[in-house]
Amino acid sequence: MLSRTADNLYWLARYVERAEYLARILEATQRLTALPLAYVGESNEWESAVATAGCAGAFYAVFSEANEENVTDFLAFSTANPSSIRSCFEAARTNARAVRTALTVEMWDAINGTWLELRRYGNGPTSREELSRFLRWVQESSLRFDGCAYRTMLRNDAYWFTRLGVYLERADNTARILDVKYHMLLPAHEQVGGPLDYFQWAAILRSVSALTSYHWVYRESLKPWLIADLLILKEEMPRSLASCYENIVTNLDRIAAAYGRQGPVQRLARSVRTRLQNSRMDDIFQRGLHEFIQSFIADNNRIGTTITQQYLT
């Protein structure tokens, strides 16, 4: 297939995934900041939302302080922010439109419908209730698109490139939450405990929609090291780094098999996956959680670049 077509499919999927992630962050932050101060401490959760969204640079170029109003606007509706939810959906549709014939009718309807609906929100909701509905809608739109892709696409390279987009973006997002909140997840916090941390932990799990999963997997109250374990090493957890890499490797292997040729990106992805499979949380804590995540983010970016070089240009 045309490299440009594959590129459009890959970014289409990435942007939809990113929009969903932003909605989850905003939702989790909104929830956290609604708690009495005694429960969450003095930390500015809006600041950390900006950091988790990975757009601190762009944000502070415009605003001096992070608060509910400007962070919500910047992450959800700003046209100046190329990674706002609105910009993500715009970019997703632009990509979709460029490869209209490579999409199924259902996928096109899903993304185009989302885009049309988005216009109805104008410059953003006026109330908290409306914002909540909007954030729900964003997540549902992403689910609908993903479901359409899963249920209607031919299982060929077009499908595999959309999957790569989804999982690469997801791995990046999960890693970014861990990167911003890693200090909350260190075992040293075991002693601290208390309601303050509990709500922070719950918020982390919520932002990757894993609060319920946690309980099913561990059948325990929230423990920071278990949260780290769930988000990093548990392959059965759909947004964990391990699960993303299981999927990235599988899809890259399918492409390599179909093309009868593999390249550097297959080797790189396998080595990242192997590292995740062979790690234990104890070792990661010992060598430094922060360093581990930083190096993962770097690897994940390198794989993105290599996919682009190998297939998309």
Partner 1 sequence: MAVAFDEMTGQDGKLRPAYRELSAWLGEIRPDVLDYRRREAEFLFRRIGITFAVYGEADSQERLIPFDVIPRILSAPEWALLSRGLEQRVTAINAYIRDIYGKRECLRAGIVPEDLVFQNPVFRPEMNGQKVPHDIYVAIAGIDIVRVDDQTFYVLEDNARTPSGVSYMLENREIMLRLFPELFSRHRIAPVDNYPDELLATLQSIAPNTAAAEPTVVLLTPGVFNSAYYEHSFLADKLGIELVEGRDLFVRGEEVFMRTTQGPKRVDVIYRRLDDDFLDPLAFRPDSVLGVPGLMSAYQAGNVTLANAVGTGVADDKAVYSYMPEIVKFFLGEEPILRNVPTFRCREDEHLGYVLDNIDKLVVKEVHGSGGYGMLIGPAADKAMLAAFRAKLKSAPANFIAQPTLALSTCPTCVDSGIAPRHVDLRPFVLTGRDKVRIVPGGLTRVAMKAGSLVVNSSQGGGTKDTWVLDG
* Spatial distance between the Cα atoms of 72 and 50, rounded to a whole number of angstroms: 9
Which of the stretches 15-23, 100-108, 139-147, 190-198 binds partner 1 when contact is defined by CB under 8 A?
100-108
Q: 284 is written with which tokens?
A: 């990661």
Q: Can residue 280 be called a binding residue for partner 1 (CB under 8 A)?
A: no
Please check whether residue 289 is in contact with residue 185, taking contact to mean a CB–CB distance below 8 angstroms. yes
* Spatial distance between the Cα atoms of 49 and 55, rounded to a whole number of angstroms: 9
Smaller CB distance to partner 1: residue 46 or 161?
A: 161
For the CB of residue 99, give the shortest distance to partner 1 in the complex, in Å. 9
Q: Can residue 89 be called a binding residue for partner 1 (CB under 8 A)?
A: no
Smaller CB distance to partner 1: residue 60 or 259?
A: 259
Please check whether residue 71 is in contact with residue 50, taking contact to mean a CB–CB distance below 8 angstroms. yes
DSSP 44: -
Which of the stretches 2-10, 68-76, 174-182, 190-198 binds partner 1 when contact is defined by CB under 8 A?
2-10
Which of the stretches 96-104, 132-140, 200-208, 281-289 binds partner 1 when contact is defined by CB under 8 A?
96-104
Please check whether residue 75 is in contact with residue 54, taking contact to mean a CB–CB distance below 8 angstroms. no
Smaller CB distance to partner 1: residue 73 or 90?
A: 90
- Tokens 């715009």: give the residue: 90
- Tokens 């090493």: give the residue: 233
For the CB of residue 111, give the shortest distance to partner 1 in the complex, in Å. 11
Find the largest Cα–Cα distance for the chain.
60
Amino acid found at 264: P
* Spatial distance between the Cα atoms of 111 and 95, rounded to a whole number of angstroms: 10
Q: Which of 37, 61, 101, 120: binder of partner 1 (CB under 8 A)? A: 101
Smaller CB distance to partner 1: residue 123 or 286?
A: 123
Q: Considering only residues 248-267, where is the footprint of partner 1 by CB under 8 A?
A: 255, 259, 261
* Spatial distance between the Cα atoms of 292 and 290, rounded to a whole number of angstroms: 5
Q: Can residue 1 be called a binding residue for partner 1 (CB under 8 A)?
A: yes
For the CB of residue 3, give the shortest distance to partner 1 in the complex, in Å. 4
Q: Considering only residues 141-200, where is the footprint of partner 1 by CB under 8 A?
A: 157, 161
Q: Which of 172, 176, 162, 170 is nearest to 11 (CA)?
A: 162
Q: Can residue 313 be called a binding residue for partner 1 (CB under 8 A)?
A: yes
Q: Can residue 2 be called a binding residue for partner 1 (CB under 8 A)?
A: yes
Q: Which of 229, 98, 243, 89 is nearest to 163 (CA)?
A: 243
* Spatial distance between the Cα atoms of 173 and 84, rounded to a whole number of angstroms: 14
Q: Considering only residues 102-121, where is the footprint of partner 1 by CB under 8 A?
A: 108, 112
Interface positions with partner 1 (CB under 8 A): 1-4, 6, 97-98, 100-101, 108, 112, 157, 161, 255, 259, 261, 311-313
